[in-house]
Chains A and B, each alone.
Chain A
Amino acid sequence: AQRVTQPEKLLSVFKGAPVELKCNYSYSGSPELFWYVQYSRQRLQLLLRHISRESIKGFTADLNKGETSFHLKKPFAQEEDSAMYYCALRGYSGGYQKVTFGTGTKLQVIP
């Protein structure tokens, strides 16, 4: 079975402070990991994926297979980063490819 754990329901940081949203996963094979974001009154959308090793809106995430983690980081938080963030894993479950989401972390950037 595949599982994604986001231990923090709410993370509050001041503007300009570093941000780290934690994500741990459980999966027996090689996972594909993603971060999705939902801004207020907007749709859930893809932020970044581990395969592309990209930096989007200043966010990066590194897959650590040893620690089975995929934490999302940004060195300096901005007010517009306030949103709900979901870590997701794409893998095989029951013979089918499936995307499994975590419970989400609400990031609140305080001005």
Chain B
Amino acid sequence: EAGVTQFPSHSVIEKGQTVTLRCDPISGHDNLYWYRRVMGKEIKFLLHFVKESKQDESGMPNNRFLAERTGGTYSTLKVQPAELEDSGVYFCASSHRPTARQGYYEKLFFGSGTQLSVL
């Protein structure tokens, strides 16, 4: 079974440019999450998709960030225009919708992350 795939693994851009990150979740996983880790800080929640719908986008920093999940499969996270403080590692994670049999336990499967550097 393929894991969560993120592309690109690294991206170096200049302030003001646009970058689009992609995440391919594990097939069949309804839940898709984006997280960000800024150096020295916690892994911070950005948003959560259930299929193609945004369930919770309370962690999105500002309107320069736009996430989509058309068709409920892969997701993209676009930063436009990028600022210096956007640098960090962006993680994607996916999971099954937990069931009563699983005790509503949701196990997150993470991608390798995209290292974004804004110069």
Contact = CB atoms under 8 A, between A and B. Distances in A.
Contact of A90 (B91, B93, B106, B111): B106
Contact of B91 (A44, A51, A104): A44
A104 to B, nearest CB: 7
Interface residues of B, number: 25
Given A86-B43, A90-B106, A104-B43, A96 B48 contact: yes
> Chain A, interface size: which category?
20 to 34
Interface SS of B by simple majority:
loop
Interface in A47-61: 49, 51
Q: Which 9 A-B pairs have the closest CB atoms?
A: A101-B43, A96-B56, A44-B110, A103-B42, A43-B110, A101-B42, A43-B112, A94-B58, A102-B42
Interface of A: 4, 9, 32, 43-46, 49, 51, 86, 90, 93-94, 96-104
26 contacts: A4-B42, A32-B105, A43-B3, A43-B4, A43-B110, A43-B112, A44-B43, A44-B91, A44-B113, A46-B108, A49-B105, A51-B103, A90-B106, A94-B58, A96-B55, A96-B56, A98-B45, A98-B48, A99-B33, A99-B108, A100-B42, A101-B35, A101-B43, A101-B44, A102-B42, A104-B43
